[in-house]
Amino acid sequence: MKFNAIKFVFLSNQLINMEKIEHIGIAVKSIVEANKIYEALLGSAPYKSEKVESEGVETSFFRCGESKIELLEASNPESPIAKFIEKNGEGIHHIAFAVSDILSEMERLKNEGFILLNEEPKKGADNKLVAFLHPKSANGVLVELCQEIENN
């Protein structure tokens, strides 16, 4: 009991800026085919399609309330998405959390013992700075942190 009380105080003293689930990333073999399926499921067309060359992915984004679905197709055979599909088939690839300060959140999670896949935030799709946590540090789930890039 004493330990729990101490732990609680410790946590509440930290600046935690996890805001919400921003999107769920789904690995697909064909984004053209998957767009049709998700358009039928969600009742609206993707609001954005974008190629992220650095990640080897073709993406499209759907809105569902305040959350989004990101479809990802590999744009080359070396893409992490190609490897994921080879190993697991199509399906949920990652969960992305919106954070208000990605640098402080990366630092906090590193101190909590999570394994960061990139040491610096990088430019991701949909106008975001992103960083990933290794699935083996989050019960098999690839976790993305993302922060909206301010357009001035």
Which residue has tokens 């073709």?
58
Size of the site for Zn ion (CB under 5 A): 4
Phi, psi of 96 (to 5 degrees): -110, 130
Q: How far is the CB of 23 from Zn ion (least distance, A)?
A: 6
CB-nearer residue toward Zn ion: 15 or 21: 21
User: What's the 3-state SS for 114-147?
Assistant: CCECCCCCEEECCCEEEEEECHHHCCCCCEEEEE
- Pairing relationship of beta strands 122-124 and 91-99 according to DSSP bridges: unpaired
Q: How far is the CB of 139 from Zn ion (least distance, A)?
A: 18
Distance between first and last Cα of the chain: 49
* Contact map string, positions 10 to 49, toward Zn ion, x by CB under 5 A: ---------------x------------------------
Q: Does 52 bind Zn ion (CB under 5 A)?
A: no
Given the rule CB under 5 A, which of 13-21, 38-46, 47-55, 70-78 is the region that contacts Zn ion?
70-78
Q: How far is the CB of 72 from Zn ion (least distance, A)?
A: 7
**C-alpha triplet 106, 109, 111: angle, nearest 5°:** 110
Rounded CA gap, 72 and 91, in Å?
A: 10
Positions in 88-147 near Zn ion (CB under 5 A): 96, 144
CB-nearer residue toward Zn ion: 105 or 144: 144
What is the three-class DSSP state of 36? helix
Positions in 78-97 near Zn ion (CB under 5 A): 96
Instruction: By CB under 5 A, name the binding residues for Zn ion.
Output: 25, 70, 96, 144
